A and B are shown apart, each in its own frame.
Chain A
Amino acid sequence: MQPAILAYCVLKGGRAKVNGQTYFAGSQVVDQFLPELYAALGLNYPKFFKMDNLAKLAFLATEALLQSVPNPLHANDNVAQFFMNSDSSLDTDLVHQAMINEHRNVSPSVFVYTLPNILMGEIAIKNKWHGENLFILAPDFNVIDWLNEARLLFDLQKATYCIGGWVNCLNGNYEAKLVLAAANQPAQITIETLKDEFAV
C-alpha cells in the first residue's frame, strides 16, 4: 500500500518551508540559521547546542514537521526513522581530523558526531522513539526510493509512521528535505507535489 504523505519540509538557503509555505526566513549562513530556526520553533532543549550542524539540521527539520501535524507522535513506538545523505558526517569528520593534524587532544563530543546516524539517536532521545532507524549513503535524493522504503516498513508491519528523508551539511552548505509518511491514513500531500517541491 502506498504510504500516505502527511507533511514535508525543506530547509535550504536560509528558509524553512513546511508543506510549501515559508515557515521561517533567516540567515543563509548555517551557523546563524540553525539557532535562529531553533528560536523560531519556540524550542527549549539545551542539548540542541551540543549537536553538530548535521544533527541540528535534521533535528530542527523533524521538529518543524511534527509541529505541523495534529499528532506530534511523542513516545510513539510505531515511528521509524529513515535518513539518507551523500556527505555522511564529513562536516564534523573534518573538525576531528583538524585536531589530529594539529596534534591537539581530540574532543570526545566532536568524535561522537563523526557518525551520520547519531542524528537519528538525537531525534529518538527527544521524541522517545524506540522504533527502527536506518541511515543510508546515496549520491542524491530520490524521494520515490525513500517512499519505497517507508512502504516496505509498513508492509512488514514494522512501523505505522516513517519520518526522515535527505539531510546534508558540509562546509556551510546545507539542505534538508524531510517527509512524514503514514500507513492506513488519508494522504494530505500528493507524491507529485512532493516531487516538484524536492526537485528545486
Chain B
Amino acid sequence: MSESLKRELKEHLIAQLNLADLTPEDIADDQPLFGNGLGLDSIDALEIIVILDNEYGLTLKNPEEGKEIFHTINSLAAYIEKNKA
C-alpha cells in the first residue's frame, strides 16, 4: 500500500476534521480512528465521506458502509486503492 497515500490521508483528516493538535506522525496506520482511538465521531465520518468524494472521486451512499472502511488509515487507504478510478 502506498505510503504517500496514507500520509496524504492523514493530512486531509487533520485539516478537514480540525484535529488541531496532531501531526501525521501522531496517527498510526493501524490505530482505530473512531471510539477511543482518535476519538472521531459520526460527523467526522460524514466529513471523511466528503473527503473521499472531493479528493478521490469516490462516493459512499450509505454511512453504514463507512464503519468498516474507516476503521483505520490502513483500511481507508486500501479502500481508495481498490476503488479509485
Contacts and interface: CB of A to CB of B under 8 A. Distances in A.
Q: State if A and B touch, Cβ cutoff 8 Å.
A: yes
Interface of A: 35, 46, 49-50, 104-105, 107-109, 112
- The interface centre, meaning the residue of B19, B21, B43, B44 with most chain A CB atoms within 10 A of its CB, is B43
A35 B21 CA distance: 11
Interface residues of B, number: 14
B50 interface: yes
Interface string B33-67: 00000010001101100100110000000000000
Given A105-B53, A105-B54, A49 B19 contact: yes
Nearest to B51: A105
A49 B43 contact: no
Given A46-B39, A112-B43, A107 B50 contact: yes
B21 A108 contact: no
Nearest to A38: B20
Given A108-B46, A108-B47, A50 B54 contact: no
B50 A46 contact: no
Contacts of B43: 50, 108-109, 112
Given A46-B20, A50-B17, A50-B18, A105 B50 contact: yes
A107 B54 CA distance: 11
B21 A46 contact: yes
Given A46-B19, A112-B43, 12 more contacts: A46-B20, A46-B39, A50-B43, A105-B53, A107-B16, A107-B47, A108-B43, A108-B47, A108-B50, A109-B18, A109-B44, A109-B46
Nearest to A48: B20
A49 B47 contact: no
A82 to B, nearest CB: 26
Interface in B5-38: 16-21
Contacts of A50: 17-18, 43
